[in-house]
Amino acid sequence: MGQLVADWMQAKADDLLANVFGYSALQLGLPDYDLMRKNRIRTKVILTQDDLNHRNPAPTDTEEESISTEDLPYQKELEAIYYQRKDIPPSDSSNKNPEDANQLHLNYENESVDLVILPFTLDCYAQPHQLLREVERILLHEGRLLIFGFNPYSLWGLRNRFSRFPYLPVPNKQQISLQKTKDWLQLLSFEIDRGQLACYEPALMSSRWLSKFAFMNKAGNRWWPLAGAVFYVSAIKRHANPNLVGAVNFKKPKKALKPAIVATKNKF
């Protein structure tokens, strides 16, 4: 099941990012999957939980410290779904200190990145909306944002909710639904240009049984389009441009002349 999600995510990233151009690209999480491999941007950075990839960006003039990713506690949780590791407990947002999340700051200048990829990152971060705001800050105007996430209203989500043992690396209460993701993007002036749900099969660990339910994945977009286990959203950052209305006329309007009755003499 995990390999099914990984293959779908990699295929979508290869197709969507092949023609995205710019000077700098950033991927937050899942360093074992280079989602930017088909992209032709020269400077590519992947941030992990423990340390940075060797392709660190150049420090800014105001801050020479290296980028810290200790505030992104998602790496171990996300690896569970791909490597099928049973020894990793699901993350619990109640045990995370909100004060640590408030200190999130990516070591990038404002509007300095052309492409940002969040592979299931919002689902595992304690303050997903704040992380999205930080991404909006560093993303250039007309820059692209690609988000992958779990759908809590899918067959996988239902099994994860009612199962005795957690089935997915992210609890349902932490999963950001597609509609909520779209609402957050619109609040931050992003324009959504495409998206898709996938993986409509039941949550089965055996590849043999998954192949028997492959017909559900083919018919899912038509018969139950909102029940996909995972989704992606691609958005472009826009700036709200004010409308010019011209100079405002503050002159008081002239009073209109009122007709008056004038007495006339009878000449007869």
Q: Please state, in angstroms and rounded to a whole number, the distance separating the CA atoms of residues 215 and 17.
A: 28
Is the alpha carbon torsion for 165, 199, 12, 149 positive or negative? negative
Q: What is the pLDDT of residue 215?
A: 58
Instruction: Determine the average pLDDT of the residues in 159-178.
Output: 68
Domain assignment of residue 264, yes or no: no
Domain assignment of residue 268, yes or no: no
Q: What is the pLDDT of residue 88?
A: 37
The pairing of beta strand 24-28 with beta strand 43-47: parallel
Q: How far is the CA of 70 from the CAs of 73, 103, 104, 122, 137, in angstroms?
A: 7, 10, 9, 15, 19
Within the chain, where are the H helices? 2-16, 75-83, 98-101, 121-124, 128-138, 155-162, 178-187, 207-212, 214-223
Kindly tell me if the per-residue pLDDT of 64 is higher than 70: no
Instruction: Determine the average pLDDT of the residues in 110-128.
Output: 90
Mean pLDDT of all residues in the chain? Answer: 73
Instruction: Determine the average pLDDT of the residues in 41-63.
Output: 57
How would residue 61 be classed by pLDDT, with cut points 50, 70 and 90? very low
User: C-alpha dihedral over 191, 197, 198, 203, to 10 degrees?
Assistant: 130
Domain assignment of residue 196, yes or no: yes
3-state DSSP helix/strand/coil % of the chain, to nearest 5? 30, 20, 50
- 1 vs 48, residue with greater confidence: 48
Kindly tell me if the per-residue pLDDT of 101 is higher than 80: no
User: What is the domain-level CATH number for residue 145?
Assistant: 3.40.50.150
Structural domain span for residue 165:
2-237
- Burial (CB count within 10 angstroms: exposed 0-12, middle 13-18, buried 19+), residue 13: buried
DSSP 178: H
Domain assignment of residue 243, yes or no: no
Q: What is the pLDDT of residue 132?
A: 94
How would residue 25 be classed by pLDDT, with cut points 50, 70 and 90? very high
Domain assignment of residue 83, yes or no: yes
For 173-218, how does the pLDDT look when each residue is reduced to its tens digit (9 = 90+)? 678 889 999 999 999 999 999 999 988 776 666 666 566 666 566 6
Q: What is the pLDDT of residue 72?
A: 39
Domain assignment of residue 153, yes or no: yes
Domain assignment of residue 37, yes or no: yes
- Burial (CB count within 10 angstroms: exposed 0-12, middle 13-18, buried 19+), residue 94: exposed
For 80-100, how does the pLDDT look when each residue is reduced to its tens digit (9 = 90+)? 433 443 343 444 444 445 444
Note the Cα 29 to chain centre separation in Å.
Answer: 13
Give how many domains the chain has, as a whole number: 1
For 235-250, how does the pLDDT look when each residue is reduced to its tens digit (9 = 90+)? 999 976 666 666 656 6
DSSP string covering 179-239: HHHHHHHHHTTEEEEEEEEE--S---S-HHHHHHTHHHHHHHHHH-TT--SEEEEEEEE--
Domain assignment of residue 247, yes or no: no
DSSP 171: -
Q: Which of 57-66, 92-101, 151-160 has the lowest mean pLDDT?
A: 57-66
Q: Of 100, 125, 156, give the one whose Cα is nearest residue 135.
A: 125
Q: Please state, in angstroms and rounded to a whole number, the distance separating the CA atoms of residues 15 and 8.
A: 11
